[in-house]
């Protein structure tokens, strides 16, 4: 599509604002988003000029540019709904932006999305991108080979003889396996994109950010599983941003999540299952919190560290729940569920365990 065709019915104000648009493949969508914004801003005196000032002089201070919040806080552009500040940060700053969790308001912003006011600021230069925190290395003492050293001597020895094990970001941040009851179905999905959709549809293309469960066949599938699969629909949106993993329920039915990291944070029992209704999201893993737990666990020995492998695996069922409040006590009793393996934390654990050597507790063929 050439420029003449694209702008043939575009107002001068929209044309000017599109001049600052960041390059991406969705020209028409961006044009409609800007056109909708212009119509809202023209109802008041000043916001249009303030927005143009912010876009033309990004390094200079600028005021909030606000629009009214809808009931659910989202704005519809074409057939897609999104949060206003995310939409306009995508148009003018970061085309690869996926979620509001990737944005943090600047201190100067008076109407940030997070404060849930009647108006929300859409000035893209009032937000910054969340960066992944640098995790401190885990210090692993290498004393398992010296059990006879006295406690005092061992303490001074440990200060000198420790191995710093650093966290490294893997190529694929997670892998996802799909199950029906206790049967694994299909191949493992390797997530290279930090934004992943797991849905019930049937897209046959090898889309790197989409795992379509509707494509998968299983000869042992019963009517309950078939019916549950029909209700997965848009499924879930998983995203990994700033060292944190979030899940958003896009399905019309609830999802049920068991995350030991999330349960630790909230003070729940480790095996607690949380229900996430349609349209809601939840943080299900935090790298910084895991780093602290791992560093503390090293002092308690090999078995305590090894136990943390359970924290690096998240289980999630569609439509049907399980756990203490349900007749299904285990996830393997639910018709459709996925298991998410977090590669970064698992690889970090592996390196720490390798440095620690073998467990102290003796084992024999009859133990």
Same domain, residue pair 186 and 312: yes
Residue 285: inside a domain, yes or no?
A: yes
Single out the residue of 57, 51, 44 nearest to residue 84, CA to CA. 51
DSSP assigned state of 171: S
Number of domains in the chain: 2
Paired with 240 in beta bridges are 245
Same domain, residue pair 207 and 327: yes
Q: What SS3 class is residue 254? A: coil
Rounded percentage of the chain residues whose pLDDT exceeds 70:
86
**Taken in order 272, 241, 250, 313, is the CA torsion positive or negative?**
negative
Of 63-77, 184-198, 332-346, least confident by mean pLDDT is 63-77
pLDDT band (50, 70, 90) for residue 164: confident
Higher model confidence: residue 180 or residue 83? Answer: 180
Same domain, residue pair 192 and 322: yes
Residue 245: inside a domain, yes or no?
A: yes
Residue 142: inside a domain, yes or no?
A: no
Single out the residue of 247, 242, 225 nearest to residue 316, CA to CA. 247
pLDDT band (50, 70, 90) for residue 5: very low
Same domain, residue pair 196 and 327: yes
Q: What CATH number has the domain bearing residue 191?
A: 2.60.200.10
Residue 139: inside a domain, yes or no?
A: no
Q: What is the mean pLDDT of residues 273-289?
A: 95
What is the pTM assigned to this prediction?
0.74
pLDDT, position 282: 94
Same domain, residue pair 255 and 312: yes
Q: What CATH number has the domain bearing residue 124?
A: 3.90.520.10
pLDDT, position 196: 95
pLDDT at 244 over 90: yes
Residue 281: inside a domain, yes or no?
A: yes
d(CA 359, CA 354): 11
Q: What is the mean pLDDT of residues 202-225?
A: 92
**8 Å CB contact between 238 and 196:** yes
Per-residue pLDDT of 284-304, as tens digits, reads 999 999 999 999 999 898 999
- Residue span of the structural domain in which 91 resides: 3-129
Same domain, residue pair 8 and 117: yes
**8 Å CB contact between 121 and 68:** no
d(CA 184, CA 206): 20
Per-residue pLDDT of 34-67, as tens digits, reads 888 888 888 888 888 889 888 888 878 899 999 9
Rounded percentage of the chain residues whose pLDDT exceeds 90:
53
pLDDT at 344 over 80: yes
The residue among 76, 103, 129 that closes a domain is 129
Q: What is the mean pLDDT of residues 149-171?
A: 65
DSSP assigned state of 129: E
Residue 303: inside a domain, yes or no?
A: yes
d(CA 78, CA 29): 7
The residue among 113, 129, 145 that closes a domain is 129
Q: What is the mean pLDDT of residues 327-333?
A: 95
Single out the residue of 320, 322, 314 nearest to residue 338, CA to CA. 314
Higher model confidence: residue 40 or residue 234? Answer: 234
Same domain, residue pair 58 and 195: no
pLDDT at 360 over 80: no
Q: E strand or H helix at 346, and its extent?
A: helix 343-356
Structure token pair of residue 73: 């806080």
210-212 sheet: strands from edge to edge? 210-212, 195-199, 236-241, 244-249, 281-286
pLDDT band (50, 70, 90) for residue 337: very high
pLDDT band (50, 70, 90) for residue 151: very low
pLDDT, position 18: 65
Residue 169: inside a domain, yes or no?
A: no
Higher model confidence: residue 147 or residue 251? Answer: 251
Same domain, residue pair 267 and 189: yes
Per-residue pLDDT of 13-39, as tens digits, reads 666 676 666 656 477 778 888 888 888
Chain length of the chain: 367
pLDDT band (50, 70, 90) for residue 145: very low
Higher model confidence: residue 136 or residue 183? Answer: 183
Same domain, residue pair 82 and 199: no
pLDDT, position 341: 98
Residue 141: inside a domain, yes or no?
A: no
Same domain, residue pair 83 and 180: no
pLDDT, position 149: 41
Per-residue pLDDT of 77-108, as tens digits, reads 877 788 999 999 988 888 888 888 888 899 99
Same domain, residue pair 341 and 209: yes
pLDDT, position 362: 57
């Amino acid at each position: 599509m050439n420029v003449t065709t694209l702008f043939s019915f575009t107002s001068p104000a929209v044309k000017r604002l599109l001049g600052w648009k960041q390059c991406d493949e969705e020209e028409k969508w961006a044009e409609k988003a800007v056109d909708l914004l212009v119509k809202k801003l023209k109802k008041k005196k000043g916001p249009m000029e303030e927005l143009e000032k912010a876009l033309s002089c990004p390094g200079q201070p600028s005021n909030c540019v606000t629009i009214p919040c809808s009931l659910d806080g989202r704005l519809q552009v074409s057939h897609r709904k999104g949060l206003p500040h995310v939409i306009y940060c995508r148009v003018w700053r970061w085309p690869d932006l996926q979620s509001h969790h990737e944005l943090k308001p600047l201190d100067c912003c008076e109407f940030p999305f997070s404060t849930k006011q009647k108006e929300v600021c859409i000035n893209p230069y009032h937000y910054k991108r969340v960066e992944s925190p640098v995790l401190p290395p885990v210090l692993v003492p290498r004393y398992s080979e010296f059990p006879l050293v006295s406690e005092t001597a061992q303490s001074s020895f440990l200060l000198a003889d420790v191995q710093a094990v650093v966290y490294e970001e893997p190529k694929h941040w997670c892998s996802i396996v799909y199950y029906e009851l206790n049967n694994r179905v299909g191949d493992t999905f390797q997530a290279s994109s930090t934004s992943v959709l797991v849905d019930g549809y049937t897209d046959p293309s090898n889309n790197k950010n989409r795992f379509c469960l509707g494509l998968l066949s299983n000869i042992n599938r019963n009517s309950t599983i078939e019916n549950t699969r029909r209700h997965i629909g848009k499924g879930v949106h998983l995203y990994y941003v700033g060292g944190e993993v979030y899940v958003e329920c896009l399905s019309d039915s609830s999802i049920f999540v068991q995350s030991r990291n999330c349960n630790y944070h909230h003070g729940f029992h480790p095996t607690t299952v949380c229900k996430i209704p349609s349209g809601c999201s939840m943080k299900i893993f935090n790298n910084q919190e895991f780093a602290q737990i791992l560093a503390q666990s090293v002092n308690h020995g090999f078995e305590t560290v090894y136990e943390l492998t359970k924290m690096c695996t998240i289980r999630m069922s569609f439509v049907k729940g399980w756990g203490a409040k349900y007749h299904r006590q285990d996830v393997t009793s639910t018709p459709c569920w996925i298991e998410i393996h977090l590669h970064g934390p698992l690889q970090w654990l592996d390196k720490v365990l390798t440095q620690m050597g073998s467990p102290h507790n003796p084992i024999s063929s009859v133990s």
